[in-house]
Chains A and B, each alone.
Chain A
Amino acid sequence: MSNTTSHERLADRPEGLQTGCSGPLAVSIGSLSLKNPVMTASGTFGYGREYAGLFDLALLGAVVVKGTTLNPRDGNPPPRVVETPSGMLNAIGLQNPGVEAFLATELPFLREQHVPVILNIAGHTAGEYEEIARRVDGAPGLSAIEVNISCPNVDEGGMTFGVSPKLSAQVISCVRGATRLPVIAKLTPNVTSIVEIARACVDSGADAISLINTLVGIVIDLKKKRPVLGNVTGGLSGPAIRPVAVRMTWEVSSAVPVPVIGMGGISTAEDALQFIMAGATAVQVGSAMFANPLAPLEVIEGLDKYVRDEKVASFKDLIGTARR
């Protein structure tokens, strides 16, 4: 393992990294044990299929799949993405084939990849979230549910819930009651107090918190004199939002007793370590995938090197060290 220096080699050699759940990078999210703390962020990795030819998905801590709804969704009119300084706006609008297609086609494929699968779910009503959770409960190969109460790009549902402690609690309670799987609440940063929302989710039965979803923004096309995005607004992601995300990871992990999964502009192990030291137990790599599809593997490799170079007995010892 000590001579694993390039991602190309790492991608070729699954045994190059610890694959068991007792290695130095192992962490737990509720009852879910992960061999390493690095996941793909929902919406940036499809259902894993698109990248399975590039590297072995089993190297990842977990795959968080595209936000999935009860019924298929077409998504928003294009353009759906636009580059911004050190980041991008997206307004995909939750285009997805629906939960039944996920169960019939995508989950069986992912199961063969031997990687924990976390299903990101979204709905128009609390009842829809509950129904999705019920339908996937007990599905072979599914490890956890991430409840998306933070999508800024749909008219109903998504962020509508996540900006209200009361509605967030309602959705989480419904999902909690419908599944035995670990429930992760994914929060939006577009709120006055993210701590208040996080507390409401944990009080309603969330096993973990993931944050942050994107920050709402607009880019204007000067030639057309109108917004670039078909949806007018979109969600900002990428390195530009990282300090905001680290701050919110710090605040929430100080306030709630459950694991926090940090994300927002993570491209490298150094970026990930900021979240870990701020209090995150695990991280997700999102739009960095677009610049470098091997970014999640490079983060894992970098964390592995860090714990060895710094002689950290257990990765868990690093969590929240900046707050002590």
Chain B
Amino acid sequence: MAGRANPWTTGLFAALILLFTGGPVLLSLLGSLIPDRVLLDQGSSLFAEGLNFDGYRYVFTGELPRAYQAENANRAMISDAARQVPASLVNSGIIALSAMVLNILLGAPAAFLFARYLFPGKKLSFLFLILSPLVPAVALVTPIYIMLQSMGLLGTRTGIILVHTARALPFTVLILSVFFRKMPAELFEAATLDHCSRFQVFWRIALPLALPSIGATGLFAFMLSYSEYMFAMVLSGDAGARPVSVVMAALARNTDVSWSLLNTAIFIAIVPTLVLVVLVWRFVVEGLLSGSVKG
């Protein structure tokens, strides 16, 4: 690396990045704990009311927040959609994890083939794969809807999993094929001489070396699926397949919604991604660093 940055500048940039990434998370956590009355009523203050977990209690148990149990309270502010958050979180978890696993299972071998082997139609199929994300998603909604309908997958998690997998797959293949292409060819030739079949070359040599990249692309596929709204909305119907993105949108559409409840739902929706990032991040960064040192 050429020249080292001034520690103060580095610190400033780090603080800015933290502000932009961690700030909203902290705000939503804070907002979920501050009672609505503090926000809406000039007369009451946070010191008098204190923080509470009423929002969380309502989301998970259905018990109305104390403030809304008063007789003249505007209960319309308590949206039913908030009660769907835990179930939708489970849906989202299943959908996004499945999309992630499918992306790795399908994308890694495909990327390896594209990166390392010649086969008829290679260029055309790769071009097709790379250009497919350029088709506007809106244009695909109707055909995919009809297709899933004919397969009887409307309103099921399976349907959404398939679509999300297909949406992320081009990126997975592209990113991983770049990584596989950077690996020295001699490594694979040595493995071939060491009695490895093509699959074994992939499984025993390429895959273990690509784990950090696979972790990163898997995380990417997870995030893409977790935050995807349009297909999830159209394909989930009103059934129990709704993922969290759809439920959150329903919650936010209610302009009278309780702020603390909305923030509660937001924070709950963020938690799984935070957990996943913490689990995968270390691994990804370590992989990238060891790669650069080896260089």
Is A bound to B?
A: no
A residues engaging B (CB < 8 A)? none
